[in-house]
Amino acid sequence: GEDVEQSLFLSVREGDSSVINCTYTDSSSTYLYWYKQEPGAGLQLLTYIFSNMDMKQDQRLTVLLNKKDKHLSLRIADTQTGDSAIYFCAEAGGSYIPTFGRGTSLIVHP
């Protein structure tokens, strides 16, 4: 079955860039997503990328997709303490029901 892998923790200093990586196995993935979960809250869509794109930029966020290697990354520029959260990578194919990774806890310290 489909599998989405991501590291569990990332610690960065405020002002630095954060890069969260994700790998997936389903070659028929149509959409790839990054969701953010703040403490005590549900997940919120942060950004998504269509499988025929290799990059998407939205303000401080840059998503890179390497479809050949099935690798997705999320770069957050100028990371702030408010970016501390759990970030979930997810992929969806034809059914559009996403498969989520285990989540990466981003810790931003001064």
Partner 1 sequence: DADVTQTPRNRITKTGKRIMLECSQTKGHDRMYWYRQDPGLGLRLIYYSFDVKDINKGEISDGYSVSRQAQAKFSLSLESAIPNQTALYFCATSEPDRPQETQYFGPGTRLLVL
Q: Is residue 61 close enough to count as binding partner 1 by CB under 8 A?
A: no
Q: Confirm if 26 and 91 have CB atoms less than 8 A apart.
A: yes
Confirm or reject binding of residue 45 to partner 1 (CB under 8 A): yes
CB of 101 to partner 1, least distance (A): 6
* Closest residue by Cα to residue 44 from 81, 90, 9, 80: 90
The rounded distance, in Å, linking the Cα atoms of 46 and 81 is 17
Per-residue binding letters, 62-101, with partner 1 (x by CB under 8 A): --------------------------x---x---xxx-xx
User: How far is 5 from 33, CA to CA, in rounded Å?
Assistant: 13
- The one among 48, 51, 60, 61 contacting partner 1 by CB under 8 A: 48
Does residue 102 touch partner 1 according to CB under 8 A? yes
**Cα(32)–Cα(26) distance, integer angstroms:** 11
Contact present, 48 and 34 (Cβ < 8 Å): yes
Applying CB under 8 A, which part among 19-27, 42-50, 58-66, 70-78 lies near partner 1? Answer: 42-50
> Taking CB under 8 A as the rule, does residue 39 contact partner 1?
no
Tokens (6 digits) for 55: 């990059």
By CB under 8 A, name the binding residues for partner 1: 4, 8, 31, 33, 35, 40-45, 48, 50, 88, 92, 96-98, 100-103
